[in-house]
């Protein structure tokens, strides 16, 4: 076999292995945390320890003050534009009052996941849009679109699941982590691609860049899994049924039944995987909910939701 061809084959196989990563155990088969995780309240999460090497790099690549200031400006601009266009639902609207009431119950239980949340200036707004979406920016700036409430016919428990999920992203600093990882991955891809191209005698910078982009997507999917569980933990402690998370993703699946992108190329894990993960942690989540209701798990009634619009 041609030596150059052998070298190219070996490198391409290594790149493919880097994209694929280690095989994940199915939810419930092996819930042991990875080396980069700690277990908090029974949920494996990445620590927010500011003394870790990764955190030091994050402080350089994505300074906390800069991220918070940027998100505050973006949120202010978004709300201002929505108000000008008549898309900002007024505070007197029952749906806005509903969202804010749910937020008031959830917010006190956020501090256990990030003590800095105690100082956040929380905001909750509703925007008129058919988009099925919601978000929470760093600092507790929350927005829901009317589309996600109307099309999925969300119950209060399901709104709490969505809100908890989005708040969890902010609490666990996922946006900041993603920005620093994207910066680091891009740098490594550029340097590695140039070095490999020189060594192989063929331009593989495009392949190296693709590997880097797929790695960032993998980071995003891991963050989604973490946000699902942390969000339901917050919701359950606030008196909202965590089984709503299962109903929510079943509704999402029905809405997306026309076809969704394969998980490898998506920032979100598949709906069935998310449901399996939530179910595997229900032994932790349901007791929190039952305790908030002053009862026991065996006395909880079955969860009852609404059918999403088709």
- 252 contacts 302 by C-beta, under 8 angstroms: no
Contact 61, 71 (CB under 8 A): no
Question: Can you tell me the distance from the alpha carbon of 39 to that of 30, in angstroms, rounded to the nearest whole number?
Answer: 14
Residues forming a β-bridge with 135 = 143
- Residue 310: Cβ within 10 Å count: 7
d(CA 44, CA 36): 10
Q: Is 166 a catalytic residue?
A: yes
Rounded CA-CA distance 250/93 in Å is 28
Q: Supply the Cα-derived Rg of the chain in whole angstroms.
A: 21
Please say whether the beta carbons of 232 and 197 come within 8 A. Answer: no
Q: For residues 193 and 205, is the Cβ–Cβ distance under 8 A?
A: yes
Q: What is the dihedral of CA 64, 67, 68, 74, to 10 degrees?
A: 180
Q: Check 64, 85, 131, 166 and give the catalytic one.
A: 166
Instruction: Map residue 100 onto helix, strand or coil.
Output: helix
SS3 107: helix
Do 235 and 160 form a contact (C-beta atoms < 8 A)? yes
Residue 190 CA to residue 208 CA, distance in Å, equals 7
Q: Which residues are known catalytic residues? A: 166
């Amino acid at each position: 076999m041609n030596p150059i061809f052998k070298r190219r084959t070996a490198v391409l196989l290594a790149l493919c292995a880097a994209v694929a990563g280690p095989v994940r155990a199915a939810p419930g088969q092996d819930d042991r945390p990875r080396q980069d995780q700690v277990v908090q309240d029974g949920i494996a999460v990445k620590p927010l320890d500011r003394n870790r090497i990764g955190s030091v790099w994050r402080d350089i690549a994505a300074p906390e003050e800069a991220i918070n200031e940027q998100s505050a400006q973006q949120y202010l601009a978004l709300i201002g534009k929505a108000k000008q266009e008549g898309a900002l639902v007024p505070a007197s609207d029952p749906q806005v009052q509903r969202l804010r009431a749910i937020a008031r119950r959830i917010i006190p239980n956020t501090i256990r996941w990030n003590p800095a949340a105690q100082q956040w200036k929380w905001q909750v707004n509703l925007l008129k849009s058919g988009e099925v979406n919601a978000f929470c920016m760093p600092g507790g700036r929350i927005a829901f679109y009317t589309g996600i409430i109307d099309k999925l016919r969300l119950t209060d428990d399901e709104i709490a699941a969505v809100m908890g999920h989005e708040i969890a992203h902010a609490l666990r600093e996922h946006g900041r982590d993603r920005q620093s990882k994207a910066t680091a991955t891009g740098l490594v891809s550029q340097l590695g691609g140039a070095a490999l191209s020189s060594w192989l005698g063929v331009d593989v910078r495009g392949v190296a860049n693709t590997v880097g982009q797929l790695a960032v997507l993998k980071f995003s999917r891991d963050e989604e899994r973490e946000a699902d569980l942390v969000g339901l933990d917050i919701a359950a402690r606030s008196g909202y049924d965590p089984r709503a998370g299962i109903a929510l993703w079943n509704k999402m699946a029905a809405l997306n039944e026309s076809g969704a992108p394969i998980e490898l190329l998506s920032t979100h894990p598949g709906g069935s995987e998310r449901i399996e993960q939530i179910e595997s942690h229900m032994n932790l989540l349901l007791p929190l909910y039952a305790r908030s209701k002053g009862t026991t798990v065996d006395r909880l009634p079955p969860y009852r939701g609404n059918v999403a619009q088709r």
